[in-house]
Structure 1
Amino acid sequence: MSYQPIKHVLTAAEISQTVTVRGWVRTKRESKNAIFIALNDGSTIHTIQAVAQPGQFAEDLLKLVTTGSCVAATGTLVESQGAGQKVEIQLSDLHVYGTADPDKYPLQPKKHSLEFLREIAHLRPRTNTFSAVLRIRHALAYAVHKYFNDNGFYYLHTPIITASDAEGAGEMFRVTTLDMTNPPRNEEGAIDYKQDFFGRETNLTVSGQLEGELGALALGKIYTFGPTFRAENSNTTRHLAEFWMIEPEMAFYELEDNMNLAEDFVKNVIGYALEHCADDLAFLENRLKEEEKTKKKEEQSELSLLEKLRFVVDNNFERLTYTEAIDILLQSKPHKKGQFQYDVKWGIDLQSEHERYLVEKHFKKPVILTNYPREIKAFYMKLDEDGKTVRAMDVLFPGIGEIIGGSQREDDYEKLLMRVKEVGIEPESLWWYLETRQFGTAPHAGFGLGFERLVLFVTGMGNIRDVIPFPRTPKSADF
């Protein structure tokens, strides 16, 4: 008999129907009158209980059914007599696909720390927490593609291997086929990358934005959604060496259009998760409530997970300039009482504590800041008429601070060339990017959203390593 996902059996299967489910054993307990096996197959956070009678199956078979083993269970679906589930399966047949030695299997039915689970990333998707996170991650990825498709965007695959540094930060992973134990050298004694596979130095990309702009200046509206890499030696809860970026680029969009798109986009994808991931979000909200109880009162969040998500979806985002935000921060009680860890003055790169104050305390709604000082923003952002600021925008969320960064792009060739030289980039290395400002230039804009940061916000997890299946961090690439 063909099997059915447990999610379907729990919600749609008819009572008295014969069903077959397959999955992994979460628990098995025995009493004088019955044997209870809880199964989960990943289709839902919930388990289904399969019930056998003592003596119904051979003892040797039942010994193989332990926590972590994989089985197929066939039987009649009946209303459950126990608390906690509406239906259960009265077993008629039981097949074991794979066993799990209970003395070695690390996921026994008890609470495990997230740190421990990172050490067994090959097994942690079997836990309630990580199966919920991964289902939500899938739903958000689907919602991203659906939103852009429904709004007339084209999905553009930009290079993973690149010779340009879009951010100008230099923290990139080198890609080479040269023998690093004995590399070829040029007359100056430096490594001769002309003999490398691509005939020049290449790296893993930190962003698809620059190539995305090329697509927008031909197709009108595009988006990228792919892996990006940054060789930043950081072990914080907010950094990964490999992560996924969503980067739309739109011809004929200016700053206001960009803000409108960003707000509508994040409301839409978060709304999709609220609608389609209710059970997983409810579980993660309860998990977060228990976690909050262990924190000091001043460290506890004022909003539950679902309240935080509704906070974004239900509010119009407040829009103000960077200069206006600095004035608000200078007049704030935390600044006047010296409670901010970082100083506030015009020209600083705002810290998370400043961003969160604006969102959570002052406006009590998501915030979009615009027109940042040119010195703290990337070379490709369009200069304002004052020459001091650029048409940048950052979207700020509760609990996390900046979640989206974007701008209207500089479409004036001479101004862009000046900025490229100012930040120390060789114009020849970006000749193709500069040429688009000479051949039919147009106003255009775009933004970037780190997908893991979005998943972090929606799931309420505290560490970005726990929202990607196999995190890549300094000294860690085991899986």
Structure 2
Amino acid sequence: MKHIDVKEIISSKEFIGQEITICGWVRTSRNSKSVAFVEVNDGTSLKNVQVVVEKGESDYKEPRVGMALKVTGTVVEGRNNTVEINAVPEGITVLGDAPTDYPLQKKGHTLEFLRTIPHLRGRTNTFNAVWRVRSVLAAAIHEYFQTHNYVYVNTPLITGSDCEGAGEMFQVTTIGYSNDYKNEEDYYTNDFFGRKAGLSVSGQLEGEMAATAMGKIYTFGPSFRAENSNTPKHLAEFWHVEPEVAFAELNDVIEIAEDMLKHVIRTLLDKCPDEVAFFDAHFEKGLRARLEELISHDFGRVTYTEAIELLKNSGENFVYPVEWGCDLQTEHERYLSEKVFKKAVFVTDYPKEIKSFYMKQNPDGKTVAAVDLLVPGVGEIIGGSEREADYDKLIAAMNERNMNLDLYSDYLDLRKFGTVPHGGFGLGFERLIMYTTGMANIRDVILFPRTVGSIR
């Protein structure tokens, strides 16, 4: 049906004096003897538009919160430089009823409660703002790469190899549970693909293949990890941004990551001032200032070895002890970014034992050309590396991990036919949203969270 978005009505004075039609859901409704006030929101704006209903002698029935309405009326100037819609009862049509047990009638619902109604929580101010921030950040990511000559590629979600080599993959099968097969090999031979298959944990390996043809590519899609981690930072299904760049060494990867992150945060601050102000007021005081501060400085750089010494000499009583060779925990990452550097910082050259097989081995024989970006308030937000381009070194790294080389034959071929230095990184999209909104739980920045024991 023909109507105008609420966002258009409230952001421009050009509609004043015009008769228009809007559609949306009732957020609040107040009724007096001669006039009623109905706040309507259609999801295009964090702000509602107020409909002032002149009841006259009509049999006006007050709409309930949650109802869907079509409203035709005249736009007028309201208080505090706002606009309103003057309407009569005949100009209001109920498109969808909402009973008295509509779950969102009262304000102040906890985020935990709202997770139990994921199909409705988008109608609250909080999730109205979250979904819009998510949309703007996604568009900004595409904009950055598209304007820097990257090719957007779609890597497969079903794969026969484990990118991370950690075995935390969801199995894909058309057979399911069965006693009809003698062994695992017999089972998979008779399955759909004729071999073991799973949901992809990353598009990186296929992304490298595309980069060695197109030069600069990026993927932006879902990844799946069957990691039994029921924490505020983990999802079984999440969205992943992964650029891969041919002819790029570690320093190039670092520069791209910093430039990209600054671009998307700047875009968010410029395009979503109302949403950022909302999160600043209700979820993290000083959020906007923190984001402005982050992008106003060059990010710091430190090697893993230097970082370990800084942590050991800090005098802090960390829960997880620090020694060279340990994986940095969130408490270590936050200390480095918040207390030592007081800004975002890249940590490079990690021990090869705690990083993935595909990372370029450094001349010292102990470390790899890996990088993590640590940001205040969160810790790690980006992880990347220069990839190992030497065939023999890559084979050796895979053999050390007892990996099945047959599953990676195409990936290994890249090191035979025109191999080049190349690198890239991965950005967990939901973690970026958490960082830019102050939302503390990753379940609250994705439409339908998939976690351990939960698939609603």
| Deviation (angstroms), 1:189 | 7.0
Q: What corresponds to 1:6 in structure 2?
A: 6
* CA–CA distance in structure 2, aligned partners of residues 184 and 271 of structure 1: 58
Q: 1:229 aligns with which of 218, 224, 243?
A: 224
Asked if the contact 1:184–1:195 (Cα under 8 Å) also holds between the matched residues in 2, the reply is: no
Aligned to 2:36: 35
3-state SS of 1:175 partner: coil
Distance 2:455 2:108 in 1: 25
Q: Which runs of 5+ in 1 are unaligned?
A: 290-302
RMSD of equivalent CA atoms = 1.4
Distance (whole Å) between structure 1 residues aligned to residue 4 and residue 176 of structure 2: 52
Partner of 2:298: 316
Change (3 A) 1:32 1:442: same
1:19 CA drift (Å): 1.7
Aligned to 1:97: 95
Q: Determine the structure 2 residue equivalent to 1:300.
A: none
For the Cα contact (< 8 Å) 1:284–1:459, is it kept in 2?
A: yes
Identity rate of aligned residues, in percent? 52
> Offset at 1:184?
3.6
8 Å CA contact 2:34, 2:56 repeated in 1: no
**Correspondence for 1:305 among 277, 282, 287:** 287
Return the letter of the residue paired with 1:73.
V
Relative distance call for 1:189 and 1:356 in structure 2 (3 A) is closer
1:264 to 255, 259, 266: 259
TM-score by length of 1: 0.92
- Indicate the SS of the match to 1:192: helix
Distance 2:36 2:133 in 1: 33
Distance change >3 Å, CA 359–CA 365, structure 1 → 2? same
Alpha-carbon distance in structure 1 between the residues aligned to 2:417 and 2:180: 39
- 2:258 partner SS: helix
1:162 maps to a residue whose letter is: T
Structure 1 counterpart of 2:363: 385
- Equivalent pair of 1:166/1:207 in contact (CA under 8 Å): yes
Matches for 1:14-413 after TM superposition, within 5 Å: 14-55=15-56, 57-59=58-60, 62-63=61-62, 65-81=63-79, 86-92=82-88, 93-102=91-100, 104-180=101-177, 182-186=178-182, 188=183, 192-289=187-284, 304-334=286-316, 339-413=317-391
Q: Distance in 2 between matches of 1:344 and 1:310?
A: 32
Contact 2:172 2:197 in 1 (8 A): yes
Task: Look up the equivalent residue of 1:471 and give its one-letter code.
Answer: P
The AA in structure 2 aligned to 1:194 is: T
- Number of corresponding residues: 453
What's the CA shift for 1:399? 0.8
Distance change >3 Å, CA 306–CA 417, structure 1 → 2: same
Counterpart amino acid of residue 48 in structure 2? T
- Cα deviations across residues 149-196 of structure 1 (Å, max 9, x unaligned)? 00000011101000100001111110001142x35414x476521111
CA deviation digits over 1:300-358, x for unaligned, max 9?
xxx72112211221111001111111111112131xxxx21111111110111111111
- Please list every run of at least 4 consecutive aligned residues from structure 1 whose deviation after the TM superposition is greater than 4 angstroms: 188-191
1:440 is the counterpart of 2:407: no
- State the 1:118 CA deviation: 0.3
Query: Would the aligned equivalents of 1:26 and 1:109 in 2 still touch at CA under 8 Å?
Result: no
Match of 1:294 in 2: none
TM superposition shift of 1:365: 1.1
TM-score by length of 2: 0.97
Deviation at 1:17, TM superposition (A): 1.4
Distance 2:156 2:186 in 1: 24
Amino acid at match of 2:288: L
SS of the residue 1:174 aligns to: coil
* Counterpart AA for 2:194: G
On the 8 A contact 1:183/1:191 being kept in 2, the answer is no
Query: By how many angstroms is 1:233 displaced?
Result: 1.3
Letter in 1 for 2:22: V
